[in-house]
Amino acid sequence: MNITNLLRLALKALSDNKFRGFLTMLGIIIGVGSVITMLAIGQGSKNSIKAEISEMGSNMIMISPGAERMGGVRMSSDDMQTLKVKDYEDIRSSCKYVSLVSPTVNASGQAVYGANNTPTSVYGVNQDYLEIRNYKVEEGDVFSDQDIHSAAKVCLVGKTVVDALFTNGEEPVGKVIRFGTIPFRIVGILESKGSNTMGMDQDDLMLVPYTTVMKRIQAVTYLQGITCSALSEEFTDKAIEEISEVLRANHKLKEDADDDFNIRSQQELSSMMTSTSDMMSSLLAAVAAISLIVGGIGIMNIMYVSVTERTREIGLRMSIGAKGRDILSQFLIEATLLSVAGGVIGVLLGIVAAYVVKALLSYPVAISSWSIFLSFAVCTLIGIFFGWYPARKASNLDPIEALRYE
Amino acid sequence: MEKEVIRLENIKRDFKVGSEVVRALRGVTFSIMEGEFVTIMGSSGSGKSTLLNTLGCLDTPTSGEYYLDGVAVRTMNKDQRATLRNRKIGFVFQNYNLLPRTTAIENVELPLMYNPEYSRKERREMSVEALKAVGLGDRLEHKSNQMSGGQMQRVAIARALVNNPAVILADEATGNLDTRTSFEVLVLFQKLHSEGRTIIFVTHNPEIALYSTRTITLKDGKVTSDKRNDNILDAAEALSALPIEKD
């Protein structure tokens, strides 16, 4: 029997038992639907992390003081005082794979203007920092080299701070605000960046010359970190090598001594962050895959019942000339059709569910074409795999016995 | 010279039931010529079902040779026999064996579906012809559950005819029908016979034998008599002689 006739036969058999067919498909529908939704959520969060990271600059390199361990004790990097201004200057002057360098020294506290105040963080940096982190100045200007040299009390403020302090629509540029007890003149306002993947508000900050933080706020001689940009993404590893050499030389580390600093590239960070979401989505997909298997067993069960119910029909078909493989393909196609139809409904349902999740919980979702393709492939396989045993049983029936079956 | 459609040579068929061997057929030999209407009679346990299965190529004999339309059946495998059934044999069963929820024409088309030589159009044309031949030309699209027993059996006969078989095998084809309908079906068989078809009618009802050209009687797996019927009754006459039922 040719494939068109077999398909028509299977369609007819299924339409004779619509409700039963639907119930059988339900397992597959739920399975496929959840796989699609889970993968859409996973892919969505991965995409947004990637977008975030490329916005932050995919060639960014972060240097923090301290080895991961020191004499068996894990230390907080804030307690380390190994990074000095000289390290920053040497990286700047001698690393040719590094395009931008900025020291970082941070402090947190209360910013005050008039009757308003807000908790915020002060980042002591240089002008490069804006470019490395993709901050743009919306109004006013960046502080100058002269400001850095003189540890001037000037600042760039983020939108969140502006909104909290200047509630009655005053023009912030040129105004003086206080951070703790120290007055800062606002020289510019940063363009809003919104919050990052981890939910941190990137506009809740003040950027001031690093010298100012070191001398006037923290009164320290060391840096909390150095942030650099490699010339481009592919030079990241070379840049890290160079930086490492400079720092080891500066810190007079012996050949066999561990680094007393930590260099992390954006690439590592990105793979770390996506690996979390990868693991989550593969776990969710595994759960969904189990429900697909359960659905497959449902199909096997119903096909088995169907073969038993239609024993006489099978006997008749054989007596008028159906070969074993005709019967086999008849039931196999029926099982596959059942499973693929479930898959189609499941895919549609999954897409709808993904968009519902997006609308209600504002998760980023992205439906990838490969997940849909995969679902169909898996459904076909499930249909063939679980349909095989009942179909085999049908094709092996003895026509004499089958015709006499009551 | 008449053509030999069926030739059985010393057919034996043994079944193993547990440790015992049941000898259902113990050496059956006969030939059937083209255009014969043969009744095979026998009580239950006589081996008549086994003989029918053998003639229908559903079963292979333990020993002996069976030639259907000149083809040796015993050495054929399952698939070859399936094809042989499809081309050379038309079955009519006691309980019709129509597909449920399926129209008359679809039921009749079924044997042709397993023959790749026929196109969809040819299948339809041949099925319509067969249904017309059994007097159901006006019921093509009736579903099997919308028909009476007699109509269903006529659809089954049309299905047996549609592939233009060498022989039509009827297994108690009137067994489920009342007297009147039985005669109607017999009239149909006689008509097919008069058109030159070879018919083998297996039954335990001796009355049927009166309407056929030859009767073979089986007992304990052997042919006990093989008689030509010189006085064939006309089923149409018998039908008209039946008292008309009044409700």
Beta strands of A114-260 (E only): which ranges? 116-125, 137-140, 154-157, 176-179, 182-190, 205-209, 225-230
Q: Which of A28-32, A113-117, A259-263, B138-142 has the lowest mean pLDDT?
A: A259-263
**Helix (H/G/I), strand (E/B), else coil: B222:** strand
Q: Is A16 in CB contact (< 8 Å) with chain B?
A: yes
Q: How far is B13 from chain A (nearest CA, A)?
A: 15
Which pLDDT does position A73 carry in this prediction? 60
pLDDT digits (tens, 9 = 90+) for B3-19: 899 999 999 999 998 89
* Two structure tokens written together for A404: 């006499």
Nearest by CB to residue A321, choosing from B93, B101, B114, is: B114
CB–CB contact A1 B113 (8 Å): yes
Average pLDDT of the segment spanning A188-212: 85
User: Higher pLDDT residue, A5 or B165?
Assistant: B165
Q: Which of A378, A303, A387, A328 shows the shortest CA–CA distance to A14?
A: A303
- The band of B246, judged by pLDDT with boundaries at 50, 70 and 90, is low
A312 to chain B: which residues are within 8 Å by CB?
A: 97
For chain B, domain boundaries: 35-61+78-241
- The band of A83, judged by pLDDT with boundaries at 50, 70 and 90, is confident
Q: Considering chain A, what is the average pLDDT of its residues? A: 87
Burial category of A55 from C-beta neighbours within 10 Å (exposed 0-12, middle 13-18, buried 19 and up): middle
Which pLDDT does position A198 carry in this prediction? 66
Contact A396, A77 (CB under 8 A): no
* pLDDT(A166) > 80: yes
Nearest by CB to residue B86, choosing from A320, A325, A403, is: A320
How many angstroms separate the CA atoms of B178 and B108, rounded?
24
Q: What is the gyration radius of the CA atoms in chain A, in angstroms?
A: 33
Average pLDDT of the segment spanning A174-182: 90
Which pLDDT does position B245 carry in this prediction? 65
How many angstroms separate the CA atoms of A10 and A337, rounded?
7
CB neighbourhood size of B11 (10 A): 25
H/E stretch holding B167 reads strand B167-171
Q: What is the gyration radius of the CA atoms in chain B, in angstroms?
A: 18
Average pLDDT of the segment spanning A105-120: 90
Q: Considering chain B, what is the average pLDDT of its residues? A: 91
How many angstroms separate the CA atoms of A261 and A251, rounded?
10
B58 to chain A: which residues are within 8 Å by CB?
A: 318-319, 399-400
How many angstroms separate the CA atoms of A45 and A87, rounded?
37
Please tell me what DSSP assigns to residue A216. Answer: I
H/E stretch holding A354 reads helix A324-361
Please tell me what DSSP assigns to residue B146. Answer: G
pTM exceeding 0.90: no
Average pLDDT of the segment spanning A61-69: 75
Beta strands of A7-71 (E only): which ranges? 60-65, 69-70
Q: Which of A136, A174, A127 shows the shortest CA–CA distance to A158?
A: A136
C-alpha distances in Å from residue A380, one per residue of A305, A342, A349, A350, B198: 20, 10, 18, 18, 47
Contact A166, A113 (CB under 8 A): yes
pLDDT digits (tens, 9 = 90+) for B225-245: 999 998 899 988 888 888 876
How many angstroms separate the CA atoms of B177 and B148, rounded?
10
* Two structure tokens written together for B127: 């099925």
How many angstroms separate the CA atoms of B178 and A58, rounded?
89
The Cα angle at residue A339 between residues A338 and A341, in degrees rounded to 5: 65
Residue B201 β-bridge partners: B39, B170
User: Higher pLDDT residue, A267 or A222?
Assistant: A222
C-alpha distances in Å from residue A14, one per residue of A20, A298, A342, B109: 9, 15, 12, 20
Which pLDDT does position B125 carry in this prediction? 94
**Helix (H/G/I), strand (E/B), else coil: A135:** coil
- The band of A67, judged by pLDDT with boundaries at 50, 70 and 90, is low
Q: Which of A387-396, B172-181, B238-247 has the lowest mean pLDDT?
A: B238-247
* Two structure tokens written together for A248: 């080891």
Beta strands of B51-98 (E only): which ranges? 63-68, 71-72, 89-92
Q: Which of A46-50, A107-111, B130-134 has the lowest mean pLDDT?
A: A46-50
pLDDT digits (tens, 9 = 90+) for A295-326: 889 999 999 999 999 999 999 999 999 999 99
CB–CB contact B86 A319 (8 Å): no
Average pLDDT of the segment spanning A375-384: 89
**Helix (H/G/I), strand (E/B), else coil: A247:** helix
Q: Does the interface predicted TM-score (ipTM) exceed 0.90?
A: yes
Contacts (Cβ under 8 Å, ≥6 apart) of A273: A49, A53, A197
Which pLDDT does position A69 carry in this prediction? 54
To the nearest 10 degrees (0 to 180), the angle between helices B78-88 and A324-361 is 100
Which pLDDT does position A197 carry in this prediction? 61
Contact B166, B69 (CB under 8 A): yes
C-alpha distances in Å from residue A146, one per residue of A88, A140, A142, A211, B166: 18, 17, 11, 11, 111
Q: pLDDT > 90: what percent of chain A?
A: 37
- The band of A81, judged by pLDDT with boundaries at 50, 70 and 90, is confident
Bridge-based pairing of strands B20-33 and B4-17 is antiparallel
Which pLDDT does position A262 carry in this prediction? 84
C-alpha distances in Å from residue B245, one per residue of A191, A284, B150, B241, B242: 101, 73, 16, 12, 9
Q: What is the dihedral of CA B21, B27, B32, B37, to 10 degrees?
A: -60
Which phi and psi (to 5°) does residue A115 adopt?
-90, -5
Which pLDDT does position A48 carry in this prediction? 81
List the alpha helices (DSSP H) in A193-265: 210-212, 236-250
Which pLDDT does position B1 carry in this prediction? 53
- The band of A70, judged by pLDDT with boundaries at 50, 70 and 90, is low
Beta strands of A191-224 (E only): which ranges? 205-209
Q: Which of A269-278, B20-29, B140-149 has the lowest mean pLDDT?
A: A269-278
Residue A64 β-bridge partners: A262
Please tell me what DSSP assigns to residue A180. Answer: T
Average pLDDT of the segment spanning B109-118: 92
Average pLDDT of the segment spanning A57-75: 70
How many angstroms separate the CA atoms of B108 and B95, rounded?
16
Average pLDDT of the segment spanning B108-113: 94
H/E stretch holding B109 reads helix B104-113
CATH of the domain spanning B35-61+78-241: 3.40.50.300
Which pLDDT does position A282 carry in this prediction? 81
* pLDDT(A80) > 80: no
How many angstroms separate the CA atoms of A397 and A401, rounded?
7
How many angstroms separate the CA atoms of A371 and A350, rounded?
11
Mutation site, A320, A397, A401, A406, interface B, largest B CB count within 10 A: A320
CB–CB contact B82 A313 (8 Å): no
Nearest by CB to residue B111, choosing from A315, A320, A326, is: A320
B93 to chain A: which residues are within 8 Å by CB?
A: 316, 403
A322 to chain B: which residues are within 8 Å by CB?
A: 82, 114
CB neighbourhood size of A369 (10 A): 7
